[in-house]
Amino acid sequence: MKHLHAVEDVMTISRACIASLTLCCSLGACSGGGSSSNQAPDAGASGRGTVNGMVTDIGTGARVPNASVSGGGQSAISDSRGEFTLSGLAAGTVTISVTATGYAPGYATARAGDQAAPVIVSLKQQGTPQTYDATTAATLSERTEAGPYALILQPSSLDTTDTHLRVSITPLDPTKEKKALPGNLVTGGSSPSLLLPVTFAEFTILDSAGKRVQLKASASALVELPIPPSLRASYPLGTKIHCYAYDSTTAAWEDFVEGTVQISSVDGTSPVLSASVRHFSWYGGAPQGQDCADVYVNVVSAVDGKPLGNARVEATPGTTAYTDADGSAHVIAALGSPGSSYTAYQTGFDVDGSLTGIKGAKYIEFGVVDEDLVGLVKRSCTGTAAPLAPATHTAAVIGTQGNPLVIKVGVLKDVIYEAIATLAAGSGGSSGSAVVILTAGPPGPDGKLANPQPASGAKITLTDSSGQSIPLAETGAGSGFYATTSAFTITPGKSYTLSIDADGNGSIDGSGTIVGVGDLAWINPTNGANVAADTFQASWSDTGTAAANPAYAPVYIATVQGSSDLAFYLGTDRQFPVLSALSNAPLTAGTYTATLLAFSGVYAQVGGGVRIARNITGAGVTGTLLSLGGAPEPITFAVH
Amino acid sequence: MAGAVRHLLAFGLGAACAASVPPDRIFVSHAGSASISVLDSSSLSVRERIEVGLLPHNLVVSPDHRTLYAALVGSQAVAEIDVASARLRRTFLTAPVPAMRADGSVIQAHRDQNAFAHATCYDCHRDGGASPKYAGDRPFGLLLSPDGRSLLVSHLRSSDVAMVDLETAAIERVVHLEPAGAASEPVALARQGNEIWVALRPPQPSTQPGALRRLDEATLAPLGDVPTGSDPGALLALPEHGRVLVSNFESNTVTEHDARGAAIPHEAAPGPLGLLALPEQRVLVLDYYSNAVTFLDFRAASSSTVALGHDGVPFANPTHAALSSDARSAWVVTSGTEGHLLQIDLSSAAIVRDVSIDGLSFDVAVVPGAFR
């Protein structure tokens, strides 16, 4: 029941238990993912004061065409492949702003100099617009699996009298979408300090004419940003967290104030970071990191292993650097943050067509490594950006000068890959399993996957938090269906990262991380029980808690259904007071059936249901990685 | 006062545009990097960087200009710096090291390591050290006695005001301030005649009102409360007016208050924080959220706001300022993630020099005299 070996199983559970949770999969004839003949693009970096970039959708992985890009006094529109070039730039740091219809504004910085600078700007799809009358008090919110994001406005606090405003709250969970955060979360000066993102959102208020609206000079507003489940143990109620607003004029996070973790005023249960704001923009909480490490990286071509110079390397969370001619770079990475990753990419022009098949075509080489590096000597997150004196490490420690972290990069193709992946933890003597359905196709006019076909030839790897990994094999030629084929214990409560080299060229194109969900069992009620309605508290156990992983926070869906009444719970607690969904009062007496389901993944709450969001991200790869818990058999009980 | 906003048109670098610079030593607290830097006013070079403890914020200078005190908000201590040598002379606790937590449980590590013998929580609570990194009752407001022999320290977390004897570094007296409604955090101190005024704010964020608590200077007994806004930022005594000026961080105003409850608001720009008394009955207001400063002129009953920026890029988040020894310039800390120290010529209201400093800096103090 729990160990899913086929997509049809997933869809069955989806239909049976999560009416509004939709998993879509289209399978057709196989065209194969293919691999490219790739070589180090040493001729690609060209032009003084030029930035070559790409705009992507952090949620879908799609390239975003028709985005307006500006920076350094220059502007451009992203082409059908989401790519753009800003040229004629003065040497130095360029602040890049990107706007696109339906997306929150995105920002990035790039280093313009003798060689063309690469940059990838990830945009987040804007939250659902809500109407607001500026003369009224209102709490506007956007709900996700982490809890409600809220903006609390006092009457007449905005610098407008417009009564038909549109407010968009765009949530961003840094544990899953860090790359869409604008700029660098680093304090500057001679003693820079790394900041650890906790919870963020973008707030946009537009008037009837589409113009951005801000607060009056004398007014402020309150925001509430949920603490992601995996970080709640680190930031309990009452914790003070430093908050920042992104200032596009300084290209930095400014307006430092303290916020406080408290209970959401919207749902009364979720822990949220509450703080005051004076400007509507990207806003969130990011305390200073405590433990960091110097990480040495070597960027090489996935095809021939040649080092790649002038590649941009981004540690997340951490600093950004560019490789030297030997492909080497040094970054500072914050330790202990869920989902650490190291991304490398470079852009250029394919002078002879050997990389892309098109002479003069622009190309992007990309690779990512998702790994919590173990064994590195800790350093303070505050202090000089230069590496400290070399620390003595054993040869096995990855990320040191003697044993740098290798990031393989390969040319991104004009193909979008989409993965639907499920992870089933082991139980009762079973080791567990992982399955992936990978499809590919060309981008449609909107940049998203069109006409998907099974994608063969991919290299897909599942890695646990201790670094143990197993490849997933394609179960039939041309099937695009990949699965674990040998014993690899998937432990409930442990974190697993799925890395996808979609075209099989040796570089990781996208990845996602999930926690394996355990087996569930009802504690109260039990099958056949007779419970009192006015004190009815439902509760259950979950074998995933045994791993004591702070990141373990699956979403539970419990339903209690009778002939004339029902109750429903969706959240991360393992208990809830059972009240009627019809009257919000204790259940009416009668016989009820209870079902229970748990999953680990990303969702947005839409209307009365939830919509699964994509959590496999990268360049040209998107998808959904889910872990479903072992659901108990439905139980029947009485309420008096 | 009528408000007016203008942008700085004059921005000159170097001595050509600057008024003559007296040989001052400039101390800047760097909340983000546990240190205080000491700059030479002539060269604007950092001559010393002093590691003091976590979250150094407010600074005060002794009346004889020999000693600088810095509130270490994250280390429950005050750093005492010898001005002449620019060295940390000592650190002293502003509240005792607790033996138990709020829930009554014993803090075993404090017992095992005899934490009670330490003079700052920074000895143990720091990067790579004991958790939590930021420890204690959050000392924030500082006020020296006129003779420089004692220091009042307000604590945000405990609502206590401690009087520290500066000869022995012993805590002589502790007064607990009862909350005024939701307002429980004593964030700033000022001396007005024979009274001590304390700005109390509710824990942030909040829209509940704050209060100004008047205490008897000799006994620290409460004399009464004056209502104020939800987020009072700083206090400045105006002896010639018999009033105290408070910056209303939650708004765009600063307000004069007297003991009878009269309040006179003045327009500034959003997020007023630091207040600096200037010659000729003027006050400089640091407008944190506006990247600006406001000049209040009490004689002319006017205010003028000046944006801080260069080539269209603002100097973000000004916090506090200090007067040069010749009273012709103000040194302004802008505390954005790219911090700056600005010299503003007070006659022209122009930025005449700027230098990069650590991000998340906070306060500045000026001591006359060059480095030896």
Q: Where are the alpha helices (DSSP H) in A382-538?
A: none
Tokens (6 digits) for A279: 């400007």
Q: Taking 60 as the threshold, does the pLDDT of residue A543 lie above it? A: yes
What is the reported pLDDT for B6?
43
| A291 contacts B128? CB cut-off 8 A | yes
Q: Which 3 state secondary structure label does DSSP give B290? A: helix
**Cβ pair B270:A218 closer than 8 A:** yes
Closest approach of A64 to chain B, Cα-based (Å): 29
Task: Report the gap between the CA of A249 and the closest CA in chain B (Å).
Answer: 6
* Of the partner residues B32, B204, B251, the one whose CB lies closest to the CB of residue A187: B32
In a domain, B257, yes or no: yes
- In a mutational test of the A interface, the residue from B337, B340, B354, B357 whose CB has the highest number of chain A CBs within 10 Å is B337
CA A264 to each of CA A141, A176, B91, B128: distance values in angstroms, whole numbers, following the listed order: 11, 21, 40, 32
pLDDT above 70 covers a percentage of chain B that reads 95
pLDDT at B148: 97
Decide if A247 touches B, using CB distance below 8 A: yes
H helical segments located in A161-206 = 174-177
User: How far apart are the CA of B240 and the nearest CA of chain A, in angstroms?
Assistant: 28
Contacts of A632 (CB under 8 A, 6+ apart): A519, A520, A521, A522, A540, A596
For tokens 């009364």, the residue is: A268
Does residue B76 sit at the A interface (CB-CB below 8 Å)?
A: no
Q: CB of A574 within 8 A of CB of A540?
A: yes
With CA atoms as reference, report the closest residue to B336 among B364, B365, B357.
B357
CA angle (B277 as vertex; B274, B282 as ends), nearest 5: 110
- Would you state the pLDDT for residue A3? 29
For residue A195, the model assigns a pLDDT of 87
Q: Cα-flanking dihedrals φ and ψ of residue A460, to 5°?
A: -120, 135
Residue of A nearest to B125 (CA): A290
**Measured between CB atoms, which of A188, A258, A378 is closest to B128?**
A378
Assign residue B362 the CATH number of its domain. Answer: 2.130.10.10
CB < 8 Å to B357, chain A: 189-190
CA distances to A19, A424, A430, A515, A555 from A629, rounded to whole Å, are 17, 7, 14, 10, 10
DSSP B221: -
SS3 content of chain A, % helix, strand, coil (to 5): 5, 45, 50
CA angle A482–A488–A491, rounded 5-degree value = 110
Residue B280 has pLDDT above 90, yes or no: yes
Has residue A43 got a pLDDT over 60? no
Distance CA B136, CA B158 (A): 9
More confident residue, A612 or A492: A492
Cα separation, A463 vs B250, whole angstroms: 49
CA distance A216 to chain B (A): 9
Is B204's CB within 8 Å of A276's CB?
yes
Residue B26 counted as domain residue: yes
- The predicted pLDDT at position B2 comes to 41
- pTM for the model stands at 0.80
Put simply, the answer to whether B32 touches A288 (Cβ < 8 Å) is yes
Cβ atoms of residues A328 and A404 within 8 Å: yes
d(CA B37, CA B70): 12
Residue B117 included in any domain: no
Confidence label for A252 from pLDDT (cuts 50, 70 and 90): confident
Question: Between A312 and A372, where is the model more confident?
Answer: A312
| List of chain A residues whose C-beta atoms are within 8 Å of the C-beta of residue B314 | 247, 249-250
Q: Let me know if residue B114 belongs to a domain.
A: no
**How distant is the alpha carbon of residue B128 from its chain centre?**
28
With beta carbons less than 8 A apart as the criterion, state whether A234 and A225 touch. Answer: no
The pLDDT assigned to A240 comes to 92
Among residues A547, A516, A515, the alpha carbon closest in space to that of A630 is found at A516
User: Closest approach of chain B CAs to the CA of A33, in angstroms?
Assistant: 45
Q: Total structural domains in chain B?
A: 1
Q: Looking at CA atoms only, how far is residue A118 from chain B in angstroms?
A: 24
Secondary structure (3-state) at A136? coil
Q: For residue A244, list chain B residues with Cβ-Cβ distance below 8 A.
A: 337
* Pair of tokens at residue A522: 């009802």
pLDDT digits (tens, 9 = 90+) for A205-245: 999 999 999 999 999 999 999 998 878 888 999 999 999 99
* DSSP helix/strand/coil, B46: strand
**Pairwise CA distance, residues A327 & A479, whole Å:** 37
Residue B229, SS3 per DSSP: coil
Question: Do A258 and B204 lie within an 8 Å CB cutoff?
Answer: yes
Q: How far is residue B27's CA from residue B341's CA, in Å, rounded to a whole number?
A: 11
- Residue B102 within a domain: no
Q: B204 and A383 in contact by Cβ < 8 A?
A: no
* Residue B211 predicted with pLDDT over 50: yes
Residue A382 to residue B33, Cβ atoms within 8 A: yes
Is B305 part of the contact surface with chain A (CB cutoff 8 Å)? no
Closest chain B residue to the Cα of A185, Cα to Cα: B337
Pick from A560-574, B54-68, B309-323 the range whose average pLDDT is largest: B54-68
In whole angstroms, what is the distance from residue A45 CA to residue A351 CA? 10
* Report for A291-295, A355-359, B78-82: range of highest mean pLDDT: B78-82
**Tokens of residue A162, six digits:** 């417009």
Cβ of residue A279 closer than 8 Å to a chain B Cβ? yes
* pLDDT given at position B183: 98
How many residues are recorded in chain A? 640
Give yes or no for A190 touching B (CB within 8 A).
yes
- What pLDDT digit, counting tens, does each position of A109-158 carry? 888 877 788 898 999 999 989 999 999 999 999 988 788 999 999 999 99
pLDDT at B337 exceeding the cut of 80:
yes
CA distance A367 to A624: 20
Predicted confidence at residue A11, as pLDDT, reads 27
Contact B27, B68 (CB under 8 A): yes
Q: Is A239 within 8 Å of chain B by CB?
A: no
Listed in sequence order, the residues at least 6 apart from A262 whose beta carbon sits closer than 8 Å to its beta carbon are A237, A238, A271, A272, A274
Does B36 reside within a domain? yes
> Which of B128, B314, B358 is facing A380, going by the closest CB pair?
B128
Tokens at A371, concatenated: 């790994």
Residue B119 is assigned to a structural domain of this protein: no
Q: Which of A193, A223, A292, A380 to mutate to test the interface with B (most CBs of B within 10 A)?
A: A193
* Confidence at residue A191, expressed as pLDDT on a 0 to 100 scale: 67
Give chain B's largest Cα–Cα span.
63
Q: Which residues contact B262 (CB under 8 A, 6 or more apart)?
A: none
Domain annotation covers residue B125: no
User: Out of A287-291, A353-357, A495-499, which region has the weakest mean confidence (pLDDT)?
Assistant: A353-357
B230 alpha carbon, distance to own chain's centre = 19
Interval A465-514: pLDDT, tens: 777 889 999 998 889 999 988 778 888 888 888 999 988 888 888 888 88
Name every chain A residue with its beta carbon within 8 A of the beta carbon of B203.
Answer: 260
Give the whole-angstrom CA distance, residue B86 versus residue B70.
13
Cis peptide before B205 (omega within 30 of 0): yes
Query: Is A392 part of the contact surface with chain B (CB cutoff 8 Å)?
Result: no
Whether B232 has its CB under 8 Å from any CB of chain A: the answer is no
Q: Do B339 and A253 touch (CB under 8 A)?
A: no
Length of chain B: 372
H-type alpha helices, A90-224: 174-177
Indicate the average pLDDT of chain B.
92
Nearest to B317 among A254, A274, A378 (CB): A254
- CB pair distance less than 8 Å for A256 and B313: no
Q: How far apart are CA B64 and CA B83, in angstroms?
A: 10
Q: How far is Cα A148 from Cα B87, in angstroms, rounded to an integer?
A: 49
> Which pLDDT score is estimated for A429?
66
In this predicted structure, the answer to whether residue B254 has a pLDDT above a threshold of 70 is: yes
pLDDT tens for B68-122 read: 999 999 999 999 999 999 999 999 999 999 999 888 999 999 999 999 999 999 9
Residue contacts between A and B (CB atoms, under 8 Å): 113
Whether residue A260 and residue B204 make contact (CB cut-off 8 A), yes or no, is yes
Q: What is the pLDDT of residue A337?
A: 67
Which tokens belong to A354? 């050997």
Tokens (6 digits) for B271: 């997020």
Q: Any residues with CB less than 8 A from the CB of B264 and at least 6 apart, and which?
A: B243, B255, B256
- 8-state DSSP, A525: S
What whole-number distance in Å separates Cα of residue A289 and Cα of residue A324? 27
Task: Find, among A294, A289, A151, A284, the residue nearest to A214 by Cα.
Answer: A151
User: What is the predicted pLDDT for the residue at B81?
Assistant: 98
Q: Does A249 touch chain B (CB under 8 A)?
A: yes
Those of residues 75-134 in A touching chain B at CB distance below 8 A are none
Residue A271 CB-half CA count within 13 A = 22
Name every chain A residue with its beta carbon within 8 A of the beta carbon of B52: none
Contact A182, A282 (CB under 8 A): yes
Q: Is A584 on the interface with B (CB under 8 A)?
A: no
B56 in contact with chain A, both atoms CB, cutoff 8 A:
no
Name the more confident of A340 and B158: B158
All residues of chain B having their beta carbon less than 8 Å from the beta carbon of residue A378 are: 128
Do A382 and B133 lie within an 8 Å CB cutoff?
A: no
Total Cβ atoms within 10 A of residue B345: 19
B160 interfaces chain A, CB cutoff of 8 Å: no
Q: Is A189 on the interface with B (CB under 8 A)?
A: yes
Give the full edge-to-edge strand order of the sheet including B361-368: B46-51, B35-40, B24-30, B361-368
Nearest in space to A244 (alpha carbons), one of A230, A225, A266, A262: A225
Contact B128 A290 (CB under 8 A): yes
Q: How confident is the model at residue A171 (pLDDT cuts 50, 70, 90)?
A: very high
Parallel/antiparallel/unpaired status of strands B282-287 and B272-278: antiparallel
Predicted confidence (pLDDT) at residue B198 exceeds the cutoff of 50: yes
Q: What confidence score (pLDDT) does residue B310 get?
A: 87
* pLDDT score of A12: 26
User: CA nearest B130: which of B139, B117, B121?
Assistant: B121
Token pair 């120290």 in the structure block, residue = B341
**Percentage, residues of chain A above pLDDT 70:** 89
Q: CB A383 to CB B314 under 8 A? A: no
Instruction: Flag whether pLDDT at A256 surpasses 90.
Output: no
Q: Which chain A residues in 370-389 lie under 8 Å from chain B, judged by CB atoms? A: 378, 380-383
Contact A458, A464 (CB under 8 A): no
**Higher local confidence (pLDDT), B128 or A344:** A344
What's residue B124's pLDDT? 94
Structure tokens, A364: 């992007």
Predicted local confidence at residue B273, as pLDDT: 98
Whether A128 and A168 have beta carbons less than 8 Å apart is answered as yes
Domain that holds residue B14: 2-95+136-367
